[in-house]
């Protein structure tokens, strides 16, 4: 039995190494520009480290850096990697790191996985069965490239963030006998939150289960440990 095709997923750990003889503000701006470019290229996640060595490593507060990155990105997942607890009080440290992700809107590390399929058929039924690959896109962002099997390609995506619509299209790359083609109209996929948004202060443990998307709306807040299950 053939093994299922699983698309590769890529992420980046951003170690805050910088030359001490350069302008730190410009280097932080370059780091933010890098996160924006990774989001555009379809990377899954970015993790920012916390260091206090001064000069070379100038991101002492990754949650503030990621909050700035969240304003500039739309889909990439952001995380602290890690918070150095010996430099912080143990009680407020974890909720602060969570708020940096939870209030990031569509870039928070919550969402739902999705799947899609595309069928490639020749205009002439006697021309045979197309081979090659189909690339699925969410708008301009590539989701997965999948080989055709008997003229059909099925893809499982990474986490789709809750929004009013994901315009998903498929692009066939062609083969020696068939020319490339693109779906004429995108398929709209709406991803909603699986639980009501928090609109008031919540105190106590909060668990985000697999395939679950939680949001913190205006007026809402979370105080207490948050567990995000893989």
Per-residue pLDDT of the chain (230 residues; tens, 9 = 90+): 454 555 577 889 887 788 888 888 888 888 999 998 998 888 888 888 888 776 777 888 888 888 888 878 877 888 887 777 777 765 554 445 543 333 344 334 445 556 678 888 888 888 889 999 998 888 887 777 888 988 888 876 655 666 656 788 889 988 888 889 888 777 776 665 666 677 788 888 877 766 566 677 667 777 877 776 65
Three-class secondary structure of residue 121 per DSSP: coil
Q: How many CA atoms lie within 13 A of 197 on its CB side?
A: 13
Three-class secondary structure of residue 156 per DSSP: strand
What angle do the packed helices 90-102 and 62-72 form, to 10 degrees? 10
The count of other CB atoms within 10 Å of the CB of residue 153 is: 24
105: left (phi over 0), alpha (psi -120 to 50) or beta: left
- Kindly calculate the radius of gyration of the chain based on its CA atoms and give it in whole angstroms: 21
Three-class secondary structure of residue 36 per DSSP: helix
């Amino acid at each position: 039995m053939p093994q299922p095709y699983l698309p590769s997923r890529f992420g980046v750990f951003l170690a805050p190494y910088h030359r001490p003889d350069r302008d730190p503000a410009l280097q932080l701006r370059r780091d933010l520009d890098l996160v924006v470019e990774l989001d555009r290229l379809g990377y899954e996640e970015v993790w920012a480290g916390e260091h206090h060595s001064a000069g070379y490593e100038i991101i002492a507060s990754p949650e503030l850096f990621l909050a700035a990155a969240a304003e500039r990105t739309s889909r990439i997942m952001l995380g602290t990697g890690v918070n150095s607890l010996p430099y912080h009080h143990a009680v407020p440290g974890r909720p602060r790191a969570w708020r940096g992700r939870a209030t990031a809107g569509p870039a928070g590390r919550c969402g739902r996985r999705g799947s899609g399929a595309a069928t490639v058929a020749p205009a002439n039924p006697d021309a045979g069965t197309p081979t090659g690959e189909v690339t699925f896109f969410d708008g301009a962002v590539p989701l997965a490239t999948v080989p055709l099997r008997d003229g059909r390609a099925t893809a499982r995506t990474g986490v789709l963030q809750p929004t009013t619509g994901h315009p998903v299209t498929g692009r066939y790359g062609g083969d020696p006998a068939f020319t490339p083609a693109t779906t004429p109209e995108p398929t709209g996929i709406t991803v909603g939150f699986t639980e009501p948004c928090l609109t008031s202060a919540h105190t106590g443990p909060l668990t985000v289960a697999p395939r679950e998307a939680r949001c913190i709306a205006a007026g809402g807040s979370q105080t207490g440990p948050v567990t995000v299950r893989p």
